[in-house]
Amino acid sequence: MEKYRVEAEKLYKRCEPDFFNFETTAEISPLESMIGQERAVRAVDFGLKVKRYGYNIFIAGHAGTGKISYARSVLAEMAEKEPVPDDWCYLYNFKNPGEPVALNLPAGMGSVFSRDIHELLEELNEVIPKVFNTDEYERQKGSLIKQFQDVRSALMEELNKVAQENGFVLKRTATGYLAPVPLREDKELSEEEFNQLAQGEREELEKKSTDVQLKSMEIVRRVQNEEKRLKEKYRELEHKTGLHAVGHLIAELKEKYSDFPKVEQYLEQLQEDVLTNLSDFRGDEEEKQFPFPWLKRETAATKYMVNLVIDNKDTKGAPVVVETNPTYYNLVGRVEYENKFGMITTDFTMIKGGAFHRANGGYLILQAKDLLLNFQSWEAFKRILKTRELRIETIAEQYSILTMATLKPEPIPLNIKVIVIGNPLLYHLLYRYDEDFRKLFKVKADFDDVMPRSQQNAAKMANFISTHCQRDGLRHFDRSGVACVVEYSSRLAEHQEKLTTAFNEIAEILCEADAWAEIEGREIVSAAQVDKAIKEKVYRSDKYEKKLLEMVKEGQLLFDFSGEKIGQINGLAVLDIGDYVFGKPSRITASTYLGRRGIVNIERESKLSGRIHDKGVLIISGYLGQIYAQGMPITLSASLCFEQSYEGVEGDSASSAELYALLSSIAGVPLKQGLAVTGSVNQKGEIQPVGGITHKVEGFFAACKVAGLNGEQGVIIPYQNLVNLMLNEEVLAAVRERMFHIYAVKTVEEGIEILTEMPAGERGEDGKFPETTFNYLVEKRLKENNELLGKQGREEDKASGKEQEEDEAQ
């Protein structure tokens, strides 16, 4: 057994404070680069340099590895060196008001343009009413009216003359029609008098009346034509007068924005629209008294406004946008609506940009999980990246839920680099099942959970601590405190030669150690405060572990921690309750008896085992065949059980323990109950490494401690797992004092030797195991079973034969 025993020095790797050449972290510079993520850093660097379609970046890694912090810092550094993207505005579309026009201007000019248009409108509201109140305008307007009135008077005189010559006078009816009335001696004839006239005379008057009516219709047409000419000349006068007020103002703006053809085109259309709708600026009474305000067309106050959707005047370099709530509208933008007098209305000024608009020309950072929680967001997200344009649409419009009229803003071209952050599982699922994802995210930056525990990384850990102390206002750490944090990092990594990259957990310990230093009145954080923080963190979460240990102490959970028993062994399991992980023992029993059923996994039969555990049990059958069934068949009935286990069993880390219990039952050789076993086994009998080894050892030690340490207890582990041990000081002290033992084995045979103090035995040249070996006893029992079953079979066959002969005789 001694040759398998592991000394305490190999169960924990210390970080000596003397390694660091500073007294406190106040003397060293903050961290300037990412620690231990060279592969991911190179991938991100490559993805940012490639500006082609589809080379967006997916940063994969588990929570707490610094993915978001790194992405922000590296993008901020790169964005500073890049040009500031354009401002984007939406303008009224004079040709098609339902499709607002998108306009881009250099950064900062969007707000200038918006202010210029606002000032233009203020000037127009002031100048236009004035120009239409001048004496010159009134004179020209009066001249036009007088000309029309003169022409109309002349035409009416001509009509009256024709009527008089024919003996008629014109009378205007209630409908405004000019009706000829006959005269007799300058007196109007009544209808009765007209009917008393001779027929010939009546017919003569009716013929003349028709001629007068025809002349009247001609004159009315000529008057109407003159009215049209008057209106046309009036419009020309208004246009000319309005242009006199507007033209020079628009010309000044056109000259200012002469380098922007789209602005010049817009200003021309604006000028034409102003001249067409001068009444909006003149404040005509009929407009003010319009009885249905909700039906009025857009006023100049809104129609000529500039909707500055993206304003980059204060942006330095390319924008870096982190969208923490990527709903559909937060990503794509929206068209808002307003309820006016019970009617839903909108206009181009209610167009709002989304995260894509804010990040256009720069970088957008998103969390994959948040994005995928919204199906509409994910589909819209991919569509925007594929089309490379920002098209604002409502969800109702996309799925034809409503037929309500809405705006269709002109799409904005997209130039963006997207960084999506998620865990490795999400990446693999998307890559496998979403074809678009593969085309859009061609760069994967894979963040590792651990990094080598090199001198360089240990030194960078000190820089990391210095960074947090300065950034978060923590007390600085001395060398012993830093060394303790490095050791804690290895414990989190579950590896003596690695450090964790879960920097959020390291940051938590830094804050808590600082808090304990404050409580204890210390200016510098040392190893004592770090150790205190770690132990208190455990204490806050280990309630369930302590409850289990109480049940062990009270005998409610049945375990033997001393003595020897046949077919019984202590296995080890790990429980993860979210914020805390701990190990616990599990009693495993095996029962063997005469029969041909093979090995029955009770956990499987009761549907409490997972697939990996089932595989481990099947491997045990393979091992038995490999070692004991080369010259004979194995005829065996056996059952394996995890006693007092009700929550289910998964994993193969107990397969070696199950094998030892099974072999003990077959051979009739007892196993030491003070030893627990962990490790999986293959069909060749090699012990394989498992996870959670530190928690398992500490969990069994805690159970032994409450039952009473006797110096014979310990754990058998795979030798490959030695490097994964970072045991706490209490266990290390017990190992040093030989009150607790760690044994490292490579094969099943080595474990048998420790558990039984018998050699396992190897086959000699004659193909047999030595009689004083464990394997000899196993094989002997299997042979005896075969013989008994064979004899039983022959007797059954003989009895069956006799029955057949008697039947034939009858």
The answer as to whether 378 is a domain residue is yes
Is 124 among the domain residues?
no
What tens digit of pLDDT does each residue of 487-543 get?
Answer: 999 999 999 999 999 999 999 999 999 999 999 999 999 999 999 999 999 999 999
| Exposed/middle/buried for residue 465 (C-beta within 10 Å: 0-12, 13-18, 19+) | buried
Q: What is the pLDDT of residues 404-439, one digit of tens each?
A: 667 899 999 999 999 999 999 999 999 999 999 999
Residue 247 has pLDDT above 80, yes or no: yes
With both helix axes pointing from N to C terminus, report the angle between 135-165 and 199-256 in degrees, rounded to the nearest 10: 160
Position 128 scores a pLDDT of 83
396 domain residue, yes or no:
yes
Task: Using CB atoms within 10 Å of the CB of residue 200, give its burial: 0 to 12 exposed, 13 to 18 middle, 19+ buried.
Answer: exposed
Is the backbone of residue 546 left (phi > 0), alpha (psi -120 to 50) or beta? alpha
> pLDDT at position 290, please?
47
Which residues, at least 6 apart from 749, have a Cβ–Cβ distance to it below 8 Å?
685, 760, 761, 762
Q: How far is CA 355 from the centre of its chain?
A: 13
| Token couple for 483 | 């060394």
The pLDDT value given to residue 603: 63
**512 and 603 together in one domain:** no
Asked whether residue 622 carries a pLDDT value surpassing 60, the answer given is: yes
Which domain-ending residue is among 282, 303, 325? Answer: 282
Q: What is the CATH number of the domain that holds 24?
A: 1.10.8.60
C-alpha 332/C-alpha 339 separation (Å) is: 23
Q: Are residues 256 and 344 in the same domain?
A: no
Query: What integer pLDDT is reported at residue 109 of this predicted model?
Result: 94
| pLDDT of the residue at 793 | 64
- Is the per-residue pLDDT at 645 higher than 80? no
Query: Do both 395 and 473 map to the same domain?
Result: no
**pLDDT tens-place string over residues 722-772:** 999 999 999 999 999 999 999 999 999 999 999 999 999 998 888 889 999
Read off the pLDDT of residues 65-121 as tens digits, 9 standing for 90 and up: 888 888 998 999 999 999 999 999 999 999 999 899 999 999 999 999 999 999 999
Range of the domain at 629: 557-785
In a domain, 511, yes or no: yes
**14, pLDDT greater than 90:** yes
- CATH number reported for the structural domain that contains residue 580 in this entry: 3.30.230.10
Q: Is the model more confident about 792 or about 518?
A: 518
Residue 304 placed within a domain:
no
Half-sphere exposure (Cβ direction) of 124: Cα atoms closer than 13 Å: 27
Provide the pLDDT for residue 284.
56
Structural domain count, the chain: 4
Q: Does residue 299 fall inside a structural domain?
A: no
Instruction: Output the DSSP codes for 567-628.
Output: TEEEEEEEEE-SS-EEEEEEEEEEEEESSS-EEEEHHHHTT-B-HHHHHHHHHHHHHHHHHH
Q: What are the tokens at 84?
A: 């500031």
Q: Is the pLDDT of residue 689 over 60?
A: yes
End-to-end CA distance of the chain: 70
The mean of the pLDDT values for the chain is: 87
Q: Which residues partner with 680 through β-bridges?
A: 688
Same-domain pairing of 663 and 734: yes
Residue 140 pLDDT exceeds 90: no
Cα(343)–Cα(362) distance, integer angstroms: 39
Q: Is 192 inside any structural domain? A: yes
Asked whether residue 167 falls in the same domain as residue 135, the answer is: yes
Share of the chain above pLDDT 70, in %: 90
Rounded to whole angstroms, how far apart are CA atoms 524 and 185? Answer: 130
**What are the C-alpha distances in Å from 291 to residues 277, 279, 287, 294, 297?**
19, 17, 9, 9, 13
Residues 584, 636, single domain; the answer is yes
- Predicted pLDDT at 379: 92
- In terms of domains, do 424 and 565 share one? no
For residue 400, pLDDT beyond 60: no
Residue 628 shares a structural domain with residue 725: yes
- Measured CA to CA, the distance from residue 52 to residue 443 in angstroms comes to 12
Residues in the chain: 810
Residue 157 burial (CB < 10 Å; 0-12/13-18/19+)? exposed
Contacts of 619 (CB under 8 A, 6+ apart): 652, 655, 680, 681, 682, 683
- For residue 581, give both structure tokens: 């992980």
Please provide the DSSP assignment of 224-259 as one string.
HHHHHHHHHHHHHHHHHHHHHHHHHHHHHHHHHTTT
DSSP-derived letter for residue 631 is: S
Q: Once rounded to an integer, what is the mean pLDDT over residues 182-191?
A: 70
- For residue 189, pLDDT over 90 is answered with no
CATH, residue 68: 3.40.50.300
Check pLDDT > 90 for residue 169.
no
Examine the domain organization and report whether 62 and 186 are in the same domain. no
State yes or no: pLDDT of 582 exceeds 70. yes
d(CA 310, CA 94): 22
Contact 588, 657 (CB under 8 A): yes
My answer on whether 6 and 59 are in the same domain is no
pTM of the model: 0.81
792 domain-assigned: no
What's the confidence (pLDDT) of residue 483? 97
Tens of pLDDT, residues 274-303: 888 888 887 654 444 445 444 444 566 788
Among 541, 565, 596, the domain-final residue is 541
- Across-strand partners of 581? 576
Do 594 and 730 have their domain in common?
Answer: yes
Query: Is the pLDDT assigned to residue 699 strictly greater than 60?
Result: yes
Separation in Å, CA 526 to CA 50, 248, 513, 522, 536? 46, 76, 8, 9, 16
Percent of the chain with pLDDT over 90: 58
Higher pLDDT, 455 or 129: 455
Q: In terms of domains, do 79 and 157 share one?
A: no
Q: Is the pLDDT of residue 33 over 60?
A: yes
pLDDT tens digits, 298-346: 566 788 999 999 999 999 999 999 999 999 999 999 988 887 777 778 8
Q: Where is the domain boundary, 387, 411, 438?
A: 438
**In whole angstroms, how far apart are CA 484 and each of 82, 462, 531, 534, 772?**
42, 11, 7, 10, 50
Cα–Cα dist 481/459, whole Å: 13
